[in-house]
Structures are given as structure tokens and as C-alpha cells.
Structure 1
Amino acid sequence: MPNANNDIPAPQSERSAQSTNALSQVQRRAVSELLRVSPVADDLARRFQEAGFTLALVGGSVRDALLGRLGNDLDFTTDARPEDVLKIVRPWADAVWEVGIAFGTVGCKKSSFDIEVTTYRSEAYDRTSRKPEVSYGDSIEEDLVRRDFTVNAMAVFLPQKEFIDPHGGLEDLAARVLRTPGTPQESFSDDPLRMMRAARFAAQLDFEVAPDVVAAMKAMAGRIGIVSAERVRDELNKLILAAHPRKGLRLLVDSGIAERVLPELPALRLERDEHHRHKDVYEHTLTVLEQAIDLEEDGPDLVLRLAALLHDIGKPKTRRFESDGRVSFHHHEVVGAKMTKKRMIALKYSNDLVKDVSRLVELHLRFHGYGTGEWTDSAVRRYVRDAGPQLSRLHKLTRSDCTTRNKRKANALSRAYDGLEERIARLQEQEELDAIRPDLDGNEIMQILGIAPGPAVGKAYKQMLEIRLENGPMEREAAIAALKEWWATQG
């Protein structure tokens, strides 16, 4: 077998000392990672061996082992058919699932490891199908050539630790480059979603994409249209949640793929002229995303990152050239919230996620709407009430939205927002702002006014909420007096 050995191999061709050192580091990391998972992986492999089949750690698991970042999700490939895999893993695993069996994949859990075993296969789309056609193969080489990128087309046969690398994935890993095992045209024709995976892996691994791969992405961008919205959404999420999303998003835009899956992003590259100046909205958006990431406290936050990415998508539709040379984008946050909702629904996001992200887009300018003056208590209450459970994210988004190079202006905005957060904290302590309700509930309103359930009760409740937001907590007698005073004006 090409490049097969009992250990991670040294490269065959001559290299510089720097490249050789990089490869030796990769090898040491791989040995360490493989030793960690060996008790479970080798035990499973011996069971396949005893049944007359082979088993190899494959794809992303091998790549991540070489990078020193192998987790507890292990991917294997085998010459056993799915029904044979089930016979082998059922007596051994803690749990087994068959949701991917139509595509040749059996999943199982053993101790802390989530394992997938996939029969050697090849799959391809026809020109119109959204679902791949799966056929099983008979050799590891046949399986690896259909993988998306060379760094994912490596395998380690177990338990003997025989390394298989027919397409130079180890060298590409050391060089931090993404190439396809065959031609990129063949690869993307087989599965167009691989074009988005190129951008995702660039964002996750901080790798460069080979020029011929980028060229194929540009030429075949329209092919992404046959992929289902759900698969596009999942790939986009992985990219956005990656360590370097700017890198992947740039590739999607520059290749023309974003025009098909997220057209609002390339639309931010507004034309500029010498008479009407405004900041580059596209570059501003990517910077806001990165600044939002810097403010994350508990790991990647999809809601915050989507809101940062989409917060200004209403600007192209609302751009106006003013007579004094300025450019305005009046109400772009309202327009942007509607556009956000429409795009996220098209990408099959959950209702809750659509609601949360579009709400943040709608509110991202609220802080600036109050100008530089002192915030009233009622303004602070409304800010908290309108943000609701998204208040913490709104804090981060608002701070991230400052990309000015003017340090004095940036510091002034930061201090102003510090002041607002302090005001919110004080009022929250005094008034429990997170659960603002009227001083009188619906039953009390009906009893005081002597009315039955109906629209009038809802109207009165809303009025009492406005009074609560404006004045803060009221004594019961004062609240009753305010209700009666308002009711008298209603005829």
C-alpha cells in the first residue's frame, strides 16, 4: 500500500529543515494521541479482525491526532458491511444507533467515546439530486480517494498502527494547505458541499486553500444550489463557530458561494465614491464579528456570532446620499431584523434562534439612540425590558459594534456603555428589572374596574406596564389611582 508503515512515516521527498521539523512534531503528537485512544480503538479493531474484517481510524480523527487535538469522537472505516458492523458492535458497545445506516454508518458509544464505523464507500450527486447515492467499496484506497481533502484522506489500520496516506495528506498537513485527493472539479461534482467545507476547514484549522481548489470553487459555485438548506446551514454554523471565521467567510464571498447561500454578506461590499464617504460595511462587519468573539465568556456563542455577522445587512437597502456629503442608513436595524428573519428561515434555523438573532439585530443601535445625555430610569427599564434574556448578548454586540480608529471616540463610547451597565445593575438590584411586571395583575385590574375578561383587560394591563416602566415600582394605592385615572379617559 502507498506510504504504509508501522508508524507515522517520514516523508519520501527531500524537504527543508523547517518542513522536516514540522513533520516530526506532527508525528510525536500523533503517537501520543493514538496511545490515548488505543485501549478502546484496539479492542474494537481486534473484534473486527476476529470476524474476518479490517478496521482503520480514518479522516478527521487521523487529522486531529496528527494536530494533537483528537477528542472523544472517533471515526473508523471498514470493509465490513453495515449488517456485519452491527453484529460486531452490539455485544461490545454501551449503546448503538442506526440513524446513518442508509449511508453505511453505524454509530455507538463505548465509555466516554462516541464512535462511528462506516463501510468503505463512494458517493456522488447526480446533476439535480440533493441526496448522495451511496455504493460500497472494497478497498481503503478506493474509500480515501473519495474523501474531501488530502488531510482527511489518511487512515491508520488497527491494531497494528499501519499508516495509510496515498495522497500526501501528511505533507499538506505540515504545510497547512487544503488540497483534494483527485481534481477539485471531480470532488466538488461528487459533493458540492465540499466547497463550503473548504471554507469551514480554513476557518477551523487556519489553513490556506490551494489555488486550484479556489479556482474550482469559483467556477462551480452555482453547484451549491443542489444541496439542501439544512446541510448548508450546518456547514455555515461550523464555520461561524470556528476559531478564524473571517478567513472562511472571505473565501465564501470571494468564490461567489456566499452569493448563493448568504447573499446579504457580499451585498455589504457597497460601492464608494470620492464625494460620499462611509466606512467599508463588509470589513466593519467582519471586525465586529471578531470583536464579539473576543467578548465571549463561555465558549463559542452561535446567537451572538450570527447577530454580529448580520447586524448591518439592512444598510444596502437603506443607504441614502445626503446633500452635505454624508451617507445615511436610517432604520437599517429594523430592515435588517426583517432580512435576518427571512434569511434564517430560508436556512431552516429553529424558531427560537431566528427570534433571538433578529431581536439582537433590531436592538443593536438602541444604545446610540439615546445620544450622549444622561439616561433616565425609564429609558434604562425599557432597554432591559426590550432586550429580555438577550441583554448580556446585547451588551457584547453593542460594544463590538465600535470599530472606529479614533481612540478618543472609542474610549468615550466604552465609558458611556460602562455607565449604562452600572445603571442597569443598580436598578436591577433595586427593582428586579429582569421580571418587570405591572404593579397590578390582570385579576386585580378586573376587580378594581369591575370588568370581565376581554380586550379591555389587556389594554389596561399594557397601560399599567407603561406606567411601571416610566415611574418604577408604585405603592398599591398609587397604582390603583393611576389605573382609575387612565380608565376615566377611556369613556
Structure 2
Amino acid sequence: MIRAQGGVWVPRSAWQAWPVSSQQASRPDRRLELQRRALASLASLPASVRELGDLFAGHGHELALVGGPVRDAFLGEAFHDLDFATSARPVETERLLRSWGDASWDIGKEFGTIGARKGDVVVEVTTYRTEAYEVGSRKPAVQYGDTLEGDLSRRDFTVNAMAVRLPELTFVDPHDGLGDLAEQVLRTPVTATQSFDDDPLRIMRAARFTAQLGFDVAEDVMAAMTEMAARLEIVSAERVRAELERMLTSRWPRRGLEIMVYTEVADVVLPELAELQQTVDEHKRHKDVYEHTLTVLDKAVALETGPDGPVPGPDLVLRLAAVMHDVGKPATRRFEAGGGVSFHHHELVGAKLTAKRLKALRFDKATIKDVTRLVELHLRFHGYGDGAWTDSAVRRYVTDAGPLLERLHRLTRADCTTHNQRKAMRLSAAYDDLEERIAALREQEELKAIRPELGGEQIMEILGIPAGPQVGQAYKFLLELRMERGPVGQDAAREALEAWWAERA
């Protein structure tokens, strides 16, 4: 037996008799399927979770599974996190979790959250709470609440405002999150304006859940996103970046970006993307760069590989590079005398804009470096099909890309969005040829680790010089020789080095 509406879980045979509102009745089959999935998922909860519910109840406290795990149970997805809400205050929660688990931690205690592990089961338990931003603060102020219903009312969206009480497994849904889950729409438990005013980061979460779940956003939520987008400026860059990362690595990142641009949230968070709309040319002299960018993102996602491939998805670096690869175009667009349009050096301008934006969003140095480099290199391939590259040029392409080569392959292929099938086939064939040449050269020369035939110690011995800048200059000369001529052998390298040294002398 499980409890459902009004507080009583009904047996499976009675599910079809559940009363539904006129709004919910539009998708009764969907509702029923969600209920079946939830029953199967909740039946698989580990026994230790039931024990935890008994423990809290035995000490006079409420405990409920809340938020994402409940939503995912209805969607039939595996539990990734087990988040609970409780009437117990953090000190009591910590005491109970220590007696239940093998280990516990209080890293989130200031927000009322205590974590614990028992075997393979990891849980986080948070005291019922409400939170809102104080004037001038970049962090939300937390206040503890007294009821589960009050705790659910402060959550971001109705689909995340459902709970299952333990240990009796009572389903609690005061805001009809199940109905919105069936309708695949994001609504807020309270008015959207109040919700976003309490925590402006929920504006970004709306975009993230659109990308993650593939859901639509209710009209009042979209209106509030537009009206209150500027409120995101009081949220720390780290929190905004975390939501942006989760959105971009979701299943449908394009949906999230589109809603951000449509509601003007991108003007605050990712203005370089929003500004691509300025390149729309009413005379159709060039393609719509904004739509092109979204298409490149879709194609790049499709080119990601499985976990054993060279670019396992979701790959944040590749996806960020796809989003940012043309952000230099608005600043470099020029209308030429003959009616053409140029964007000279937009890849270099775009790389600088990309680095600046990612730094502002507090991305880590490695991500900034890699994404910026891909933006800078994304045009390097163009022209390959017009004239054969020398082996030296191919080596430089590989060397300049370094560990980003496989991502660069995918970004370059994704960047071909032409509707001209003949041109698309020609570009694809040209890149196939380039990849084949890279593979052949790599096999011949171990291209991934190009080194001169003579190392630093040998250079010093041959030239009779001590360690210092001259050794580095000689090494660079030999590397250039290696790039230009391929493997020449140590004897030929020595002769070339001595001749170079004699000319300098």
C-alpha cells in the first residue's frame, strides 16, 4: 500500500480512479505512466533508507525524500542523489546520522544540511527552511521552517516541490507538481516574481531544467525571467557558472540557450551570445550567425563519443567552444564594396572575448585556456580544400591543437552548416582527407610527441655551450627543422645545427 492524493497511498489497481482536475485530464495516460514508474522506483529504495525513516520517526522527527529524487522517480530515472528534508534541527540531524551511518559530514551545516554514508548509500538531510536574499547580499539568508509543506513552497518549481514521507512512503504534492510533470511544463509553487525575488538564481535554473528535462516554461515564468533578469547580478558568479555548466552539459543545451536569449537573461549572463542577433542581415548577404551558432552546438553534441571514445559526452569544453566560436563576428563585420561581407580575424577577437567572459564567470584556468584555444583555431582548416597542405602545414595543425585535436576535429566539422549539399560534401571530404593524412603522419612519425632529433644535452655537447637561452634557441631551430622536413636522422640534424651555429657566429 502506498499513499497518494489527500494523504492515502492507494493500491495499484485503484490508480485509474484517482480524481484529476480539468487541467490534469489533458494527459491522463501520461499521469498513469508516471505513477507506475514512481511505484517501481520507490520499491527499489535501499533498506537502509527505510531504516533512516524509522530512526527519525522514533525520535519524534519528520523525514521526507524531496526534490530531484522524487521527480526522477516519476520519470523512471535512477536515483543519483538522495536528498531529504526534516523537521529536526541540524544538531539533532547530525547526531542521528552518526548513529545510522558509517560516516557523516557537516560541510553544509550553515545551510542546515548534514551528509552521511551507510555502505553505498549516500544521503543529505536538510532542515525545513525558507531562504531569501537580503538587500545588498550575494548569498541567500537561511531561516528554518516547521512544516514540510512550507519547505516545499519555497522550492524553485512545482516538479521539484514533491515529497515522499518516510517511513510510511506518503506522497505529498501540495502544488500539483505531478500534473506539471505530466504536462512537461515548469511552473513555480508561488508566483514566479516572488520565487525569483527570493532567489534570483532560479532564473538560471529555469533555463537549466528546460535543457535537462526538455520541458516548456510557463508564460508567467518567462515573463518574470525577463522582468527580473537583472536580479542575477546580485548572485555570485560561481553559482551562475555552476547552473550554466549544468545547462550546457544537459541533453538539450540549445533549449536552455534559446530561453536565455528570448527572456534577455543572456544579456546578463552571456551577452556575447545575445549580441550575435545583431548580425542578422535584412539583405541576406550572409547567414544568421545566432542560428548558425545554435546549429553548430547541436552538431557538436551529436559528434561527441561514448565513454571509450576520444571526446566522451557531455564535453563542456567542446560545447562552450561551439557556443563562443563566432562571438567575434559582431565586432568585425564589414560590408565590402562589391556587396560581400567580411569578418576578418573574428576568431582572434572571439578568443579574447571568450577568455574575458569565462574569467568573469569564474571558470577554472584549464577550461578557459582550452575553450579560448579552440575558438582561436576553429578557422584554421578553411582553405585546406582549396590547395593541398604540405606535410609541414599538417604537422603544425596537429602541434598547435595539441591535446585539443579531437575536439578541434569535431568543432570544425560542426561549423559546416551550409544548406548547399555540394559544398557540404566537398568540405566533409576535405576534412576526411586531412584526418587521413594526420593518421598517416602520426603512424610514420609518432606525431603526438614531435621532438627534435637532438635533445638539450646533445646540443650543449655539439656546440660546446652551457645551459642557457642559446640552448633554447638551438632547440627551437631543430624543432622548426623537424616540422619542415620531418624525421631527418641525428647526423643530418647535427650538420644542420652546426651550419646554423656557424651562421650565427
* 1:435 corresponding residue in structure 2: 449
Read off the aligned partner of 2:378 and give its amino acid letter: H
* TM-fit CA distance, 1:447: 1.4
* TM-fit CA distance, 1:370: 3.4
* TM-fit CA distance, 1:211: 0.2
Quick check: 1:471 aligned with 2:485? Answer: yes
* TM-fit CA distance, 1:375: 2.1
* TM-fit CA distance, 1:433: 0.5
Quick check: 1:282 aligned with 2:290? Answer: yes
2:135 to 120, 127, 131: 127
% same residue: 59
* TM-fit CA distance, 1:5: 2.5
* 1:247 corresponding residue in structure 2: 255
* TM-fit CA distance, 1:18: 5.4
State how far apart, in whole Å, the 2-side matches of 1:130 and 1:145 are: 22
TM-score of the two chains, using structure 2 as the length reference: 0.94
* TM-fit CA distance, 1:113: 2.9
* TM-fit CA distance, 1:412: 0.9
State how far apart, in whole Å, the 2-side matches of 1:372 and 1:416 are: 9
* TM-fit CA distance, 1:14: 4.0
Contact 1:276 1:325 in 2 (8 A): no
Deviation per CA, 1:106-143, whole angstroms, max 9, x where unpaired? Answer: 11223333311110000000232111111100101110
* TM-fit CA distance, 1:340: 1.1
Q: Secondary structure at the match of 1:388?
A: helix
Deviation per CA, 1:286-336, whole angstroms, max 9, x where unpaired? Answer: 100010000111330111111111111111111111111111111111111
Contact 2:279 2:289 in 1 (8 A): no
Q: Secondary structure at the match of 2:247?
A: helix
1:223 to 212, 228, 231: 231
1:4 to 1, 4, 7: 7
Contact 1:4 1:165 in 2 (8 A): no
Read off the aligned partner of 1:417 and give its amino acid letter: Y
* 1:313 corresponding residue in structure 2: 327
Contact 1:200 1:248 in 2 (8 A): yes
Alpha carbons of structure 1 residues 253 and 16: separation in structure 2 relative to 1, 3 Å = closer
* 2:81 corresponding residue in structure 1: 73
Deviation per CA, 1:161-203, whole angstroms, max 9, x where unpaired? Answer: 1111111111111000111001111100100000000010011
Read off the aligned partner of 1:265 and give its amino acid letter: L
Contact 1:72 1:114 in 2 (8 A): no
Quick check: 1:267 aligned with 2:270? Answer: no
Quick check: 1:291 aligned with 2:299? Answer: yes
Alpha carbons of structure 1 residues 27 and 275: separation in structure 2 relative to 1, 3 Å = closer
* 1:258 corresponding residue in structure 2: 266
Read off the aligned partner of 2:7 and give its amino acid letter: A
Deviation per CA, 1:73-100, whole angstroms, max 9, x where unpaired? Answer: 1111000111111111113223322111
* 1:183 corresponding residue in structure 2: 191
State how far apart, in whole Å, the 2-side matches of 1:462 and 1:355 are: 23
Bigger shift: 172-181 or 361-370?
361-370
Matches within 5 A, 1:151-190: 151-190=159-198
* 1:392 corresponding residue in structure 2: 406
Structure 1 stretches of at least 4 aligned residues deviating more than 6 Å after TM superposition: none
Q: Secondary structure at the match of 1:163?
A: strand
Read off the aligned partner of 1:35 and give its amino acid letter: A
State how far apart, in whole Å, the 1-side matches of 2:219 and 2:19 are: 23
State how far apart, in whole Å, the 2-side matches of 1:357 and 1:333 are: 12
State how far apart, in whole Å, the 2-side matches of 1:384 and 1:273 are: 36
Deviation per CA, 1:466-485, whole angstroms, max 9, x where unpaired? Answer: 11011111111100111112
State how far apart, in whole Å, the 1-side matches of 2:172 and 2:492 are: 80
State how far apart, in whole Å, the 2-side matches of 1:69 and 1:428 are: 43
Contact 1:319 1:327 in 2 (8 A): yes
Deviation per CA, 1:34-66, whole angstroms, max 9, x where unpaired? Answer: 111142321111111112111101011111111
State how far apart, in whole Å, the 2-side matches of 1:372 and 1:92 are: 69
Contact 1:314 1:339 in 2 (8 A): yes
Read off the aligned partner of 1:314 and give its amino acid letter: G
Give the paired residue count.
Answer: 491
* 2:308 corresponding residue in structure 1: none
* 1:421 corresponding residue in structure 2: 435
State how far apart, in whole Å, the 1-side matches of 2:84 and 2:398 are: 50
State how far apart, in whole Å, the 1-side matches of 2:281 and 2:344 are: 20
Quick check: 1:31 aligned with 2:39? Answer: yes
* TM-fit CA distance, 1:15: 6.0
* TM-fit CA distance, 1:253: 0.9
Alpha carbons of structure 1 residues 296 and 19: separation in structure 2 relative to 1, 3 Å = same
Quick check: 1:304 aligned with 2:307? Answer: no
* 1:113 corresponding residue in structure 2: 121
Contact 2:64 2:166 in 1 (8 A): yes
Q: Can you give the 5+ residue segments of structure 1 that lack an aligned partner in the other structure?
A: none
Contact 1:276 1:327 in 2 (8 A): no
State how far apart, in whole Å, the 2-side matches of 1:390 and 1:107 are: 38
State how far apart, in whole Å, the 2-side matches of 1:481 and 1:210 are: 74
Deviation per CA, 1:236-270, whole angstroms, max 9, x where unpaired? Answer: 00110111111110111111111111110001112
Read off the aligned partner of 2:8 and give its amino acid letter: N
State how far apart, in whole Å, the 1-side matches of 2:121 and 2:424 are: 47
Contact 2:374 2:408 in 1 (8 A): yes
* 2:395 corresponding residue in structure 1: 381
RMSD: 1.6
Read off the aligned partner of 2:181 and give its amino acid letter: L
Q: Secondary structure at the match of 2:8?
A: coil
Alpha carbons of structure 1 residues 11 and 249: separation in structure 2 relative to 1, 3 Å = farther
* 1:411 corresponding residue in structure 2: 425
* 1:53 corresponding residue in structure 2: 61
State how far apart, in whole Å, the 1-side matches of 2:442 and 2:474 are: 25
State how far apart, in whole Å, the 2-side matches of 1:99 and 1:342 are: 32
Contact 1:276 1:321 in 2 (8 A): no
State how far apart, in whole Å, the 1-side matches of 2:199 and 2:23 are: 33
Q: Secondary structure at the match of 1:256?
A: coil
* 1:402 corresponding residue in structure 2: 416
Bigger shift: 195-204 or 31-40?
31-40
2:341 to 327, 330, 334: 327
State how far apart, in whole Å, the 1-side matches of 2:5 and 2:143 are: 24
State how far apart, in whole Å, the 2-side matches of 1:2 and 1:144 are: 16
